A and B are shown apart, each in its own frame.
Chain A
Amino acid sequence: RKEVEQDPGPFNVPEGATVAFNCTYSNSASQSFFWYRQDCRKEPKLLMSVYSSGNEDGRFTAQLNRASQYISLLIRDSKLSDSATYLCVVNGPYSGAGSYQLTFGKGTKLSVIP
């Protein structure tokens, strides 16, 4: 069962390009959604949370479509420093005792080329 699915890439884009990643999730009860960034041989770090109304942080825009159960991340004006793997993260499954686990997608690799 694939709970969070992402296109693994790699996406190779030139500097300045706009690139979009999509992610689908299977648990319709999920309530929270995130994009994490992971640099090569480093730990994941939170890039941004994803809200129902969509949200923007500088060059990054995240969108959520609950009806279709997909999440997107748009990166405008790509920089060399954006090269990384982007992890789609969704809360669920419910594990009891009022707690929720996070489910991580396998990640989409982005390489921004000079």
Chain B
Amino acid sequence: NAGVTQTPKFQVLKTGQSMTLQCAQDMNHNSMYWYRQDPGMGLRLIYYSASEGTTDKGEVPNGYNVSRLNKREFSLRLESAAPSQTSVYFCASSEGVMVDNEQFFGPGTRLTVL
């Protein structure tokens, strides 16, 4: 099992460009999440999908959109990238959103917006 996979691993964008970060999990998990991690800020939740067909905003959703394509895949789209979106993006999944479910993380995407 690959666990949680993310593509791409690295990306450089110019301000105003758009891109989609892809995430897939092979653990048959119901819930999936997108976080960003900035130096000195910790992990912050952007969007999550409690189950296939649902998505909800997290702490920092502005500038992002998500799609839960199917149970396995959850993508994050930046429509018009800004330098403030330079960050490391992590996708995660869990069996469900119950309070004690472990979240499994992908290896991350390092995004730089110039």
Q: Which residues of A contact B (CB under 8 A)?
A: 4, 8, 31-32, 34, 42-46, 49, 87, 91, 95-102, 104-107
Contact = CB atoms under 8 A, between A and B. Distances in A.
A104 B102 contact: no
Nearest to B31: A99
A45 B3 CA distance: 12
Contact of A32 (B42, B44, B99): B99
Given A32-B100, A49-B100, A98-B97, A87 B105 contact: no
A104 B43 contact: yes
Contacts of A4: 42
Interface of B: 40-45, 48, 50, 56, 58-59, 90, 97-100, 102-103, 105-108
Given A32-B100, A95-B56, A43 B42 contact: no
Contact of A87 (B43, B48, B106): B43
B29 to A, nearest CB: 14
Given A32-B100, A91-B99, A99-B97, A44 B48 contact: no
A37 to B, nearest CB: 11
